[in-house]
Amino acid sequence: DGGITQSPKYLFRKEGQNVTLSCEQNLNHDAMYWYRQDPGQGLRLIYYSQIVNDFQKGDIAEGYSVSREKKESFPLTVTSAQKNPTAFYLCASSMGLYYERYFGPGTRLTVT
C-alpha cells in the first residue's frame, strides 16, 4: 500500500530536549512538507522540500530543522529553541508544489 508513515504517534519530552519526528513516504513524490496544527488554527507550514538535498523554510521555521537525504524520508527536528513546541505535527507529500498534499497520520508532541 502506498502512503505516508509518521512515527511515533505520541511523543512526550521535557523542555530543553531536542526531538526528531520521522516521516517516510512510498508514493514516489518529489515534494515533502511539515505542517504544525494548533487547536482552533489552520495548518502552518514549517519546512518543505522539492527535491533531495534541498529544502526551504516555511512560515514558522524558527526552532525547527530538517534534512532530505533520501527521496522517501524527511525528518523534522524540534529544537530547544522552539518556544511553544507542543502541537500536532503533520508530514505531507505531493507530486510537486502545485499539486494537492497527502498527509501522514501525524505526531502529537507534548513538551513539559
Task: Give CA–CA dist 75/83, Å, rounded.
Answer: 20
In the complex, the smallest distance separating the C-beta of residue 42 from another protein, rounded to whole angstroms, is 4
Burial of 21 (0-12, 13-18, 19+ CB in 10 A): buried
Q: Is 90 in the site for another protein (CB under 8 A)?
A: yes
Q: Is 22 in the site for another protein (CB under 8 A)?
A: no
Q: Is 109 in the site for another protein (CB under 8 A)?
A: no
Chain residues that interact with another protein, rule: CB under 8 A: 35, 40-43, 45, 88, 90, 96-98, 100-106, 108
